Structure formats: structure tokens, C-alpha cells
């Protein structure tokens, strides 16, 4: 059973295609990154998956079935446009939101206490949300998302507006949830966070999938066969090197595509030059994205 299966989904607003014939699958237990610039259609896709808006065409299955009242209880969704009741206390808000996921009584109390303890906010339990700082209230929103122990967790731009400390806190949570076998979708326009956390990636631009697959596989596909080298003396003859380009402190060597990088390293070691940096260049997701969009 897959966590999410989206097949050939399209959605238009006022004649503009927000999502165009999009298909992808999120496997159980993986962290799935959904990346793309603002306005690419990420939020629309997630809202359709959460049954908040209906697709014009196409099929979406969540946890192996069409979304229904029961399956909604097994999903935790942190929307991009998010907030909490300002006039209600933290624990009241959490209790209500958990009740809407059909979780009541003792388990809610225990889990709320445990999670607040974990983020060191037990003392704010009876404060109104409006009394908390922005970062704190975002952490509370995240707790509301996972309070009912969902199997599938959907996070839309979860790091937006968080300071470094809270960002690390949230990353820790995500990895821990992954360890518990939860399926997680992470939607963001910050590619470095995807590189850090995700197993597989869907890249969207203008409502269409432009890249889709395992993170490592995508990266090796876009490797441009070059090496970054910083050393005191470079031999004139190196195996498989067909071009050089100076970048100030370091030099970029272009390979012929047949020679593996370690042969170049071996030749350098034999030449007894002092090597400060030897790096097989893999483009960042950011660079890949810009490249793909330009080509498209």
C-alpha cells in the first residue's frame, strides 16, 4: 500500500492551469520532498490530496483508499496558510483539534503532555496562543499536526519563519517520525532542506512534474563529469582530463566520461603534490532545478 497515489490530476482556477496532468506516488515510510518555486502548484496539489478542494480530473488515493472521514483521522496536515485560535489556550486548542481527528480523553492528555515536555513548553500549556511568540505558536501548530499519531504527515513549508534552533528541533522530529515508519511529505521551495531530509523528490514547475525520482539517482543523472581541485602543483598530464577551467583559488577539471574520478586522484597522489581539496562535483538540487527549468 502506498501512502499517496496521485494519477493524472489537473486543476484550473479562473482558466489558469494550477496543476496539469500530475502523477506521483509516495511510498509508506519514506520522506518525500515536493519542491518547486512559489506558485508551482505544490499547495494546490496538497489541498487536493487532503480533500479540501476537488480536482477537475484525475484520481487521488490516500492510504490505499479514496479519502473519507475515517482516513482523514489518519492524516496530519500542516498547511502553508496556518494559524491557531488566538483567544484559546494551548491545551484547549490541541484538545479540540485532536477531537476533530476523533482522538479524545486520556490519550490526548498524555500525548499533549509528552509532546509539550519534548519541546520544553509545558509551562505555556494554559497560555492563550496570542501570548506566545510566532516561533512558539508554529511549534504548537506542528504538535497539533502529529498529536493524533497519524500514519501520513503532510508538511507544507514547515520551516518558513522558524529560527535556526526551532528549525533543528523540527528536523529532529521529522527524522524521528521517519524512524517510527511514518510517511512524510515535505513541500518546500528551499532545496537544501530537501537534500538533507528526503529520500525521493518530485520537482514541480508551472503545475507539471519536471523531475521525479530518488534523490541520489537524480543527482547522479545530473552529474556533469567534473572535478574541483585545489592543490599547489597540477601535473600537465592527467588521465581522462580533456579540459581545465580556472576559478580563482581552485581549478575545475573536465573528464572524458569514461575515466572514473579515483584514477585522477591516484595520478595526483603519485605526482606528490599537496592536495587541499578534491571534490567530485555533484550539482545541488537548486542548480539541477534551474537547469531543468531553463531546458524546459
Chain residues that interact with another protein, rule: CB under 8 A: 47, 50-53, 69, 72-73, 75, 77-79, 81-86, 88, 96-97, 99-102, 141, 144-145
CB of 53 to another protein, least distance (A): 7
CB of 4 to another protein, least distance (A): 14
Whichever of 92 and 287 has its CB closer to another protein, that residue is 92
Which grid coordinates are listed for 125?
A: 500549556
CB of 28 to another protein, least distance (A): 20
Whichever of 88 and 119 has its CB closer to another protein, that residue is 88
Rounded to an integer, what distance in angstroms lies between the CA atom of residue 147 and that of residue 141?
10
CB of 264 to another protein, least distance (A): 52
Phi, psi angles (nearest 5°) of residue 29: 85, 5
Among residues 128, 130, 7, 139, the alpha carbon closest in space to that of 78 is found at 139
Pairing of strands 208-214, 183-188: unpaired
Query: Which spans in the chain are helix H?
Result: 42-49, 69-72, 90-99, 106-118, 134-146, 164-179, 191-197, 215-221, 261-270, 285-295
Whichever of 39 and 216 has its CB closer to another protein, that residue is 39
Helix (H) or strand (E) holding 276: strand 275-280
CB of 82 to another protein, least distance (A): 5
Whichever of 102 and 220 has its CB closer to another protein, that residue is 102
Whichever of 87 and 294 has its CB closer to another protein, that residue is 87
Order the strands of the 31-35 sheet from edge to edge.
75-78, 152-156, 183-188, 31-35, 200-205, 208-214
Give the dihedral sign, CA 68/69/70/75.
Answer: positive
Whichever of 144 and 186 has its CB closer to another protein, that residue is 144
Whichever of 99 and 114 has its CB closer to another protein, that residue is 99
Q: Cα 167 to the chain's mean position, in Å?
A: 13
Rounded to an integer, what distance in angstroms lies between the CA atom of residue 7 and that of residue 23?
4
Among residues 169, 174, 209, the alpha carbon closest in space to that of 31 is found at 174
CB of 51 to another protein, least distance (A): 8
CB of 202 to another protein, least distance (A): 20
Whichever of 34 and 209 has its CB closer to another protein, that residue is 34
DSSP 27-92: -TT-EEEEE--TTSSHHHHHHHHTTSS--SEEEEEETTB---HHHHTTEEEE-SS----SSSBHHH
CB of 75 to another protein, least distance (A): 7
Amino acid at each position: 500500500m502506498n501512502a499517496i497515489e496521485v494519477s493524472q490530476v489537473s486543476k484550473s482556477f479562473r482558466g489558469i492551469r494550477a496543476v496539469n496532468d500530475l502523477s506521483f506516488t509516495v511510498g509508506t515510510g519514506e520522506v518525500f520532498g515536493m519542491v518547486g518555486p512559489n506558485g508551482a502548484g505544490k499547495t494546490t496539489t496538497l489541498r487536493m490530496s487532503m480533500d479540501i478542494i476537488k480536482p477537475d480530473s484525475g484520481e487521488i488515493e490516500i492510504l490505499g483508499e479514496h479519502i473519507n472521514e475515517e482516513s482523514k483521522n489518519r492524516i496530519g496536515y500542516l498547511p502553508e496558510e496556518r494559524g491557531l485560535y488566538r483567544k484559546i489556550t494551548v491545551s484547549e486548542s490541541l484538545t479540540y483539534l485532536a477531537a476533530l481527528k476523533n482522538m479524545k480523553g486520556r490519550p490526548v492528555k498524555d500525548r499533549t503532555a509528552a509532546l509539550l515536555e519534548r519541546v520544553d513548553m509545558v509551562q505555556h500549556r494554559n497560555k492563550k496562543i496570542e501570548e506566545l511568540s510566532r516561533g512558539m505558536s508554529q511549534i504548537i501548530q506542528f504538535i497539533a499536526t502529529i498529536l493524533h499519531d497519524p500514519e501520513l504527515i503532510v508538511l507544507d513549508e514547515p520551516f518558513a519563519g522558524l529560527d535556526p534552533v526551532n528549525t533543528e528541533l523540527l528536523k529532529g522530529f521529522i527524522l524521528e517520525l521517519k524512524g517510527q515508519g511514518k510517511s512524510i511529505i515535505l513541500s518546500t521551495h528551499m532545496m537544501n532542506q530537501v537534500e538533507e531530509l528526503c529520500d525521493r523528490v518530485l520537482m514541480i514547475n508551472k503545475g507539471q512534474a519536471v523531475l521525479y525520482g530518488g534523490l541520489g539517482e537524480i543527482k547522479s543523472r545530473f552529474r556533469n563529469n567534473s572535478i574541483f581541485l585545489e592543490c599547489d602543483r597540477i601535473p600537465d598530464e592527467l588521465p581522462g582530463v580533456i579540459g581545465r577551467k580556472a576559478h580563482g583559488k581552485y581549478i575545475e577539471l573536465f573528464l572524458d566520461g569514461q575515466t572514473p574520478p579515483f584514477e585522477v586522484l591516484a595520478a595526483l597522489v603519485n605526482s606528490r603534490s599537496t592536495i587541499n581539496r578534491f571534490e567530485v562535483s555533484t550539482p545541488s538540487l537548486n542548480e539541477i532545478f534551474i537547469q531543468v527549468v531553463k531546458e524546459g
